[in-house]
Amino acid sequence: MELRNSIVINQAREVSSLKDFLNQSQAQIAALNSMVTNQAWEVSSLKDLLNQSQAQIAAQNSNGDQPGSGSDFFERSTPTISSSIERSGKRDLVFVRFAYLSPSRVDPL
């Protein structure tokens, strides 16, 4: 009988440990879901920024500026975007860099 009581007590401890583990896992899942939601919002914001930048470039290119006035650089250039996400404590930092590369000159970003 004493052995049976010992087994029941050990199983109750295991169940308690499993409940704690489950609670921790659920908290981690909630935190990850929040991070994913925040990153999706940031990506959406970056897409909006890209669309605005492309619209501004298109508007500059269609202004009919004379060659050599500065806008011809944008007409010859290819817009490129590089981004990186870095972890800083509990927040993710998103860095975006816009660059224009002339077809006649290829520089690494």
Cα angle 32, 33, 39 (rounded to 5 degrees) comes to 90
Q: Which of 52, 51, 56 is nearest to 74 (CA)?
A: 56
Tens of pLDDT, residue by residue over 34-91, are 888 888 888 888 888 888 888 888 888 776 554 444 544 444 555 555 555 555 565 5
Cα four-point dihedral sign 39, 91, 85, 98: positive
pLDDT band at residue 2 under the 50/70/90 scheme:
confident
- Domain definitions of the chain by residue range: 2-101
Rounding to the nearest 10 degrees, give the CA dihedral for residues 10, 15, 18, 19: -140
**Residue 21 above 90 pLDDT?**
yes
How high is the pLDDT of residue 106? 47
SS3 at position 30: helix
Tens of pLDDT, residue by residue over 80-97, are 555 555 555 655 555 555
Q: Which residues, listed in sequence order, are joined to residue 78 by a DSSP beta bridge?
A: 101
Bigger pLDDT: 104 vs 50:
50
> Regarding beta strands 78-88 and 91-101, do their DSSP bridges make them parallel or antiparallel, or are they unpaired?
antiparallel
Tell me the pTM: 0.43
Average pLDDT over residues 101-105: 51
